[in-house]
Amino acid sequence: MTGYLLYLAITLLVLKFVHLFHQRFKSNLLYADRVEYLALLRDMVKTKMHALDEQDMQSRFMKFIANLGQQSLTKQGIAYFRLPDFRPVYVISNPKLIEQLYSASSQHKFSQKKFFNRLAMVLGPNNLMSSDLGSDFHRQVRASILSRNEAIRPQLAMHVMDFFKEYQTKQREKRQTLATFMDALSRKILLVTYFGKEIIDEFEELYQPHLTKQLIECLFNLDPITDKDSKKLLALRNEIFSLSCRLIFSPELNSILLKPDSWLVHLLKTHLASFKELRAELEDISVRPEVLDAEQCQKLLNYARQKGDSTTLSRAVRDVVNESLFIPLLGFDATATTLIAALKIAIQDKRVYKILKQEIQEHHASSQYVLRSAWDSDQKRPLTYAEAVVLEALRIAPPAMLIPEMVREPIKLKIEGEEVILTANSLLFIPLESVHKQPANFPDIPLSAHGQKILGKPVIKSCDIFPERWLPQSLSGEPYHLNFFQNSPSELFPRQLEKQGRFLTFKTGARRCPGLRLAFTEILLTLTMLHHYEIELEGEEELHLRFNYHTALQRNGGSGLITLQAAKQAENVFREREAREFKAIERNREATFQKGGNKLETISEADSPTFSSMNL
C-alpha cells in the first residue's frame, strides 16, 4: 500500500509539472480541467495496481476523451494531456485539422497497428487490421474484400428477403430480440459473401457469441500483454482455428470452402506468396502457393493441425484460417449496430415511418428505387429519404465512438496561422461525438412557423434525429418538407463531408472501411422490408440514440422482441424481384471476376462499380 501511494504521488507530481510546462508554451491547445485530469491519472495508476476494474477504466478513459474533445471546441478543436508513462495524447475535433491529418502527405505517418497487438496474437501479425497500410499484402487483401463485396451486392435483396421470410415462419415458435435478429442477418450476409450460402446453417450451429465478445476485447488496447493475457488469447486463437477446421473438413462443405476461387484459398495464396521466409518450408512439403489446389490446401491444413504454432509455416496457415473467419465473427457487429439504430428511427418515430413507407411504396411502384451507396450522391443524384435515415443512424450512433491512432513520425498541423506538431510515439484520438454533433459540421436548423407546429420546437439541433437535414428528395425531385425550414439549408453529401473531416463513421481515404458499400446496401434493403412487412417491436426502449462508452463498440437498444406480419402484396413483389435479380446478376458477373479465370478482379473504392441496374 505504501509503495502504491508513493508511486501515485511521484507520478502526479511529475505530470503536474509537465502539464504546466506545456500549458505555458502551447497556448493553442486546450488542457483538461486540472481536477478531472488528476482524477483520471489517479484511476489509471489504481488500475495498474489492480485496485480498479480494467473495463471500468476503459469506459472512464473514453468518456474523458469525449468530454475533452467537446471542451476543445471552445478553443481550436485540439486538446493535449499526458499519460502516467508521460506519453503525449492529442484529442482532435476540429474538421480542418482532421482533413490535414488524413491528407496524402500525412496518412503514412500514423497507424492503428499497435492498438491491435492482441488481435495479432489471434489472427497473426499480417491480418488486415494489423498489417502496414500500403504494403503489397494489405493492398491485395483489401482489394479482394472490395471485389467480393461488389460481386454480392446485386444478390443482397434476395438474401435479405429470404431471411425475413424464414423468420416470419420461425417466430411462431420463438420470437427473437431485435439485436439477435440483426446480428443473425448481418452474419448471414457476410457468410454468403465470403463462403457461400451453404455454410450458414452449420456455422450458426457452431457459432458461440463469446467469440465475438472476446474479439471485441482485443481491439484498441495498448496495455502490455501479461502472461495471463497471452494464455487467454492463445486459447481464443485455438478455439477459432478449431471452429474453422470443423467447417472446412465437414463433408458437405469441404469442396465448397476449398474450391480455387474461395475466400480461404485466395487468402492462402496471397499470404504464402507474399512472404519469402515460407518458401523453404513450403518446398519441404511439396506445396506451390501459386497453383494451390484443394489437395494442397488439405495438406497445408493438416500440417497446421499437426504442428500447431511450432513452425513458421504452420503458424502462418493458422493465421490465415483464423483471419478468414474474422469477418463473419466480428465484422457483423458494426453493421448490426447500425441496422438496429436505423430500424428504431424508422419504426419508433411515427413521422419518419409514414414518410419512409410512402417513399418505399412509390419507388417500388415506379421501379426506380436504385440501390446505391449514399457515398455516390451528389447534385445529380440526390439522396432518398431512406438513405437519409441511415445516415442519421450512422451520424448519431456510429458503432465505434473514437478513432484512435498512433503517431509514428512528427506531423505538422496548422491552426489559424499557428503550427502544432504531433510528436512521434504520441497517441491521437478523434471523438466522433464532438465531430458528428458539432454545430459547425451539422448546423442547427431554425424552423418556419409550419415546421415548429409540426415538430414542436423552434430549432432542430445538431444532436436531434432529423433525416431532412440531408435534404433528401422525392421521386419528383423536390426536397422533403422544405417548408419546415426558415431558410433552405446547405446540401450535405457524405463523401464530401468525409473528406472534410466532418463525418467519419467509416473513417476516410485509404483507411476507409472496405465494407462501406456492402453494409449500406444491406441496411437500405432492410428498410425496404417495410414495404413487405409490418414490423412491431415489443418491449424496446424508447428512441434515444446516444454515445455509450462501456465497450470498444457501442450499441443502442435492441432488447425488444420483433414480430413480422407480411403485407398482402409481398409475394407478388417477391416473384417480380427474383426475375429482375437474376438478370442483374448475369449482367454484373463479369464486372467482378475475370472471364474464364479464378483470379479476383481488384476494384478500388474510387473505381468500384455501382449496380444501378438493381431495381426493386
> Domain segments of the chain: what residues?
2-113, 121-162+197-327
Mean predicted confidence (pLDDT) in 209-238: 93
Mean predicted confidence (pLDDT) in 562-572: 75
Higher pLDDT, 343 or 371: 343
Q: Which residue has the cell 415511418?
A: 353
- C-alpha 214/C-alpha 232 separation (Å) is 9
Dump the DSSP string for 234-270.
Answer: HHHHHHHHHHHHHHHT-TTTHHHHTSTTSHHHHHHHH
Higher pLDDT, 609 or 570: 570
**Grid coordinates standing for 340?**
438496429
pLDDT tens per residue across span 163-212: 999 999 999 899 999 999 999 999 999 999 999 999 999 999 999 999 99
Query: For residues 32 and 81, is the Cβ–Cβ distance under 8 A?
Result: yes
Q: CB under 8 Å, gap of 24 or more: what pairs does 482-489 form?
A: 483/448, 483/450, 483/451, 484/447, 484/448, 484/450, 484/451, 484/454, 484/455, 485/445, 485/446, 485/447, 485/448, 485/451, 486/446, 486/447, 486/448, 486/451, 487/446, 489/443, 489/445
- C-alpha 199/C-alpha 176 separation (Å) is 22
Higher pLDDT, 588 or 403: 403
- C-alpha 326/C-alpha 515 separation (Å) is 13
Q: What is the mean pLDDT of the chain?
A: 86
**Grid coordinates standing for 22?**
506545456
Q: Does 503 have pLDDT greater than 80?
A: yes
Q: Does 516 have pLDDT greater than 90?
A: yes
Which of 26-30, 115-119, 574-578 bottoms out in mean pLDDT, i.e. has the lowest?
Answer: 574-578
Q: Which residue has the cell 463531408?
A: 497
Q: Does 488 have pLDDT greater than 90?
A: no
In the 8-state DSSP scheme, what is residue 444?
Answer: -
Higher pLDDT, 194 or 490: 194
Mean predicted confidence (pLDDT) in 443-460: 95
Phi, psi for 78 (deg, rounded to 5): -145, 135
Q: Does 216 have pLDDT greater than 60?
A: yes
Instruction: Give the pLDDT of residue 583.
Output: 62
- C-alpha 83/C-alpha 101 separation (Å) is 22
Confidence category of residue 597, pLDDT binned at 50, 70, 90? very low
Q: Which residue has the cell 424496446?
A: 540
- Residue 478: Cβ within 10 Å count: 10
Instruction: Give the pLDDT of residue 600.
Output: 39
Instruction: Give the pLDDT of residue 596.
Output: 44
User: How far out from the chain centre does Cα 490 lie?
Assistant: 27
Which of 336-340, 384-388, 459-463, 605-609 bottoms out in mean pLDDT, i.e. has the lowest?
Answer: 605-609
Mean predicted confidence (pLDDT) in 116-141: 86
Share of residues in the chain with pLDDT > 70 (%): 87
Instruction: Give the pLDDT of residue 221.
Output: 86
Instruction: Give the pLDDT of residue 604.
Output: 43
Instruction: Give the pLDDT of residue 467.
Output: 97
Instruction: Give the pLDDT of residue 389.
Output: 97
Instruction: Give the pLDDT of residue 509.
Output: 82
What distance, in Å, lies between the first and last C-alpha atoms of the chain? 68
Instruction: Give the pLDDT of residue 614.
Output: 29
Torsion of CA 456, 462, 463, 466, to 10 degrees: 60
Share of residues in the chain with pLDDT > 90 (%): 64
The DSSP element (H or E) to which 522 belongs, if any, is helix 516-528
Mean predicted confidence (pLDDT) in 103-112: 91
Higher pLDDT, 475 or 337: 337
Instruction: Give the pLDDT of residue 288.
Output: 87
- C-alpha 318/C-alpha 122 separation (Å) is 9
Q: Does 53 have pLDDT greater than 90?
A: no
Higher pLDDT, 141 or 27: 141
Instruction: Give the pLDDT of residue 257.
Output: 94
Q: Does 349 have pLDDT greater than 50?
A: yes
Q: Does 607 have pLDDT greater than 50?
A: no
Which of 37-51, 72-86, 105-119, 456-470 bottoms out in mean pLDDT, i.e. has the lowest?
Answer: 37-51
Mean predicted confidence (pLDDT) in 471-483: 89
- C-alpha 192/C-alpha 207 separation (Å) is 15
If we measure between CA atoms, which residue out of 257, 268, 261 comes closest to residue 198? Answer: 257
Mean predicted confidence (pLDDT) in 603-614: 37
Q: Does 588 have pLDDT greater than 80?
A: no
Phi, psi for 88 (deg, rounded to 5): -70, 145
Mean predicted confidence (pLDDT) in 578-585: 57
Distances (CA, A) of 24 to 27, 41, 85, 267, 389: 6, 21, 21, 52, 46
Instruction: Give the pLDDT of residue 380.
Output: 76
